[in-house]
Amino acid sequence: MKILMLTPYLPYPLLSGGQIRTYNLLKKLADKHEITLFALIKEESERQYISELEKYCAKVKVFKRSQKPFTLRNIFKTLFSSYPFLVIRNHVPETIEAVETELALQNYDLIHAETFYMMPHLPITDIPMILVEQTIEYLGYESYAKKAPLILRPLLQIDISKIKHWEKYFWKSANKLIVMSQADKDFIAQEIGNKNKIEVVSNGVDAEWFNKKRRKLSTKLTVLSVGTFNWLPNVEAVKFLVNKVWPLITQQVEKAQLWIVGNAPTQEVLNYHRHDQSIKVTGNIPDIRDAFKGAHVLAAPVLSGKGTRYKILEAMVSGTPVVATSIAVEGLGVQDGKHVLLADSAAAMADKISQLLKNPTMRRKLARRAKRFVTRQYDWKYISTKLDQVYQEFS
C-alpha cells in the first residue's frame, strides 16, 4: 500500500516514546508498504537524521515549527483561535500546502496521522485516514491544571476545553482510531459511542536489540528513574519520587543511589543532585540500555496520563525489576507480584523498592518472569503485524 504518514516529530534519534514507536514501526513495515513521511522539526540540525529514515521511507519531508512553544506569536494566535495551544504550536501552514500537492500528484491508499494535533494539516479528501492517539491529551492537561497556581487555572481550563473538543472531533472524523491500550479504547469508546472503529496497537520493545548488551550492575544499589521531561506526567512523577519516596528509601537502605535519566531535564531536575549527593542526574544518555542494564530497580511512580510506558517495557526486557503505580502499567496486562510490584503510595513504593534492593533472589525471579512476558507479548515484530492488519482493512 502507498501510505502518507504525518508526525509532529522526526522519528530519529530515539529520544522520546513517540520517536521510538514510529521508528520501529517504519523499520518493520518498510518491506510491506511504500511510506512517505511528513514530519515536523524544531531545529535545522535535525535534518542530519533524514538519511536514517530514508532507509525505510520512499520519501521524507520535514517542516519547521517554532523551536520554543511559548512564543508571543503562538500565545497570541491561541487567544483568537478555536484551536488549543497544543494545535497552534504544532501548526505549520507550509505542511498543509505540501500535503495538498502530494495528494494531487500521487495516488495514496491511506493517510496515517500520529496525534490528533496533526489532523488540521489534512485537507478534505476521500482517502481513508487513520489517527493514532499515543495518549489522551486532555486528561493529562486536566491533571496538571488541578495542581497549577489558582491564577492560571481559568486560562488553562479554557484551553483544555478546546483540546477536549478537537480531540473528540478528530476521533469521530477519522476512519480508524488506534490507541495504546484496552483501557484507552474503553474510555474513548464511551466518549464517541463507537468501539468498532477503535483498534489497540500498543507500544513495543526491540527485544533483540536490548539482549545484545549484557547486564553490568552499578557497584552502588541503584534505583533508576527514566522519562522525557517535556511531558508533564514525567515531571510530576520524578518530583514525587525525589520528595516523597526517596527519603524513605534512604532510611531503609544505606548508600543507595537514585539515578535520573531522560531527555530535556528541567533546571529543577538538574538541581536535585546539588541538594542530595545520593541523587545522580544524567539527562539524555547515548544508549538507554546502559541505564537499564546498570540499575537494580526501576521506579515508575506515574500519577497521571494515559498510554503505555516504554520505560516499563524496556526495563522488563532488560531484566530490571519494576516497582510502579497502578496507572503506570495500566493496560499492559502485567500481574502484581509476578511481573512487577505495584505501589500507589509513597510509603508502599519505598518499602517495595527497599525489599528488592536488599533481596537479590527476589529481584532475579521478578526480572526473569517479566522479561519472558514482554518478549512474548510486546516485541515490535508482533506489534507491527497488528498495525499491518489495520492497514490491510483499507487495501
First to last CA, the chain: 7
pTM as predicted: 0.84
Q: pLDDT value at position 15?
A: 82
Residue-wise pLDDT for 336-384, tens only, equals 999 999 999 999 999 999 999 999 999 999 999 999 999 999 999 999 9
Q: Which residue, 31, 37, 51, 48, is CA-closest to 9?
A: 37
Inter-CA distances, 373 with 208, 212, 306, 313, 378, Å: 14, 18, 21, 10, 8
Average pLDDT, the chain: 93
Joined together, the cell numbers standing for residue 30 give 518498510
In the numeric block, the cell 484551553 is attached to: 159
Q: Which residue, 310, 272, 303, 257, is CA-closest to 19?
A: 310
Give 307's pLDDT tier (boundaries 50, 70, 90): low
How far apart are alpha carbons 263 and 309 in whole angstroms?
Answer: 15
Q: pLDDT value at position 139?
A: 87
193 has a pLDDT exceeding 90: yes
3-state helix, strand and coil shares in percent for the chain, rounded to the nearest 5 = 50, 15, 35
Would you say domain 2-204+380-392 falls under CATH 3.40.50.720? no
Structural contact between residues 394 and 109, judged by C-beta atoms closer than 8 angstroms: yes
Average pLDDT over residues 234-247: 93
Structural contact between residues 225 and 241, judged by C-beta atoms closer than 8 angstroms: yes
How far apart are alpha carbons 134 and 243 in whole angstroms?
Answer: 29
How far apart are alpha carbons 374 and 378 in whole angstroms?
Answer: 5
Q: pLDDT value at position 341?
A: 98
| DSSP reduced 3-state for 260 | strand
Residue-wise pLDDT for 104-151, tens only, equals 999 999 999 999 999 999 999 999 999 999 989 998 788 778 878 888
Fold of 207-377: Rossmann fold (3.40.50)
Structural contact between residues 102 and 125, judged by C-beta atoms closer than 8 angstroms: no
Amino acid found at 19:
Q
Structural contact between residues 121 and 129, judged by C-beta atoms closer than 8 angstroms: no
Which H or E run contains 176?
strand 176-179
Q: pLDDT value at position 306?
A: 58
Residue-wise pLDDT for 285-294, tens only, equals 889 999 999 9
Q: Which residue, 368, 324, 339, 317, is CA-closest to 205?
A: 317
Average pLDDT over residues 265-289: 90
Residue-wise pLDDT for 14-34, tens only, equals 888 899 999 999 999 999 999
Q: Which residue, 158, 142, 18, is CA-closest to 83?
A: 158
% residues pLDDT > 90 (the chain): 79
Domain ranges, ordered by start, for the chain: 2-204+380-392, 207-377
Joined together, the cell numbers standing for residue 212 give 545484545
270 has a pLDDT exceeding 80: yes
Residue-wise pLDDT for 215-235, tens only, equals 999 899 999 999 888 777 788
Structural contact between residues 349 and 328, judged by C-beta atoms closer than 8 angstroms: no
Average pLDDT over residues 280-287: 88
Are both 2-204+380-392 and 207-377 of the same fold?
yes
308 has a pLDDT exceeding 60: no
Q: pLDDT value at position 27?
A: 95
Residue-wise pLDDT for 49-89, tens only, equals 999 999 999 999 999 998 888 899 999 999 999 999 999 99
